């Protein structure tokens, strides 16, 4: 199985750092988690065909498609105006049963390992706010993981201090999925 990892937003935060809260930038958190994830997957015998953080979504999708990835994982930190919003949610393309299985495996591992609030596995649906470009434009089984809310103080602490735990949980989710297919 070949996996492509996309830490969301732009490298070094320019032009888009993603969500920012109390000096913690989404682009930095997901870059670290993405690199750790690649190492854990490689150690588990999973072929990582790319780790790409880029400000152009088309470039990301093209790189994954050109690498002939079987699985595509986009990593993000959620944010909300209401600082009480918390938890983990994982998105998949609405018609992809394989995407749903992968999303469930990753979601379960994060929620149980880090004890984040379970916001559930959700569908990316055309014409809605969940019509994520990278999920709909990759050939691979694709998921977008919102690890936790950077705008929530407790979640932000997890995102800052437990990046290795997030990477390990996501890697276990991928290997759980691999055993199912």
Query: HSE of 45 in the Cβ direction (CA atoms, 13 Å)?
Result: 4
Would you give per-residue pLDDT tens digits along the chain (181 residues)?
999 999 999 999 999 999 999 999 999 999 999 999 999 999 999 999 999 999 999 999 999 999 999 999 999 999 999 999 999 999 999 999 999 999 999 999 999 999 999 999 999 999 998 999 999 999 999 999 999 999 999 999 999 999 999 999 999 999 999 999 8
Domains held by the chain: number: 1
Q: What is the pTM of this model?
A: 0.98
Any idea what DSSP says for residue 50? E
Rg (CA), the chain: 15
CATH number at residue 85: 3.40.630.40
Domain limits at 63? 2-180
- Contacts for 117 with CB less than 8 Å, ≥ 6 apart: 86, 87, 88, 111
């Amino acid at each position: 199985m070949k996996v492509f990892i996309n830490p969301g937003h732009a490298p070094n935060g320019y032009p888009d750092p993603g969500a920012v809260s109390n000096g913690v930038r989404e682009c930095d958190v997901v870059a670290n988690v993405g690199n750790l994830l690649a190492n854990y997957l490689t150690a588990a015998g999973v072929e990582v065909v790319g780790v790409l953080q880029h400000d152009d979504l088309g470039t990301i999708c093209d790189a994954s498609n050109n690498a002939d990835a079987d699985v595509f994982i986009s990593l993000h930190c959620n944010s909300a105006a209401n600082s009480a919003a918390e938890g983990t949610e994982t998105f998949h393309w609405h018609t992809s049963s394989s995407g749903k299985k992968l999303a469930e495996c990753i979601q379960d591992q994060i929620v149980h390992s880090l004890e984040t609030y379970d916001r559930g596995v959700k569908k990316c649906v055309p014409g809605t706010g969940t019509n994520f470009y990278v999920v709909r434009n990759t050939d691979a089984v694709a998921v977008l993981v919102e690890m936790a809310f950077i705008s929530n103080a407790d979640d932000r602490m997890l995102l800052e201090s437990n990046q290795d735990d997030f990477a390990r949980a996501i890697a276990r989710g991928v290997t759980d999925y691999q055993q199912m297919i």
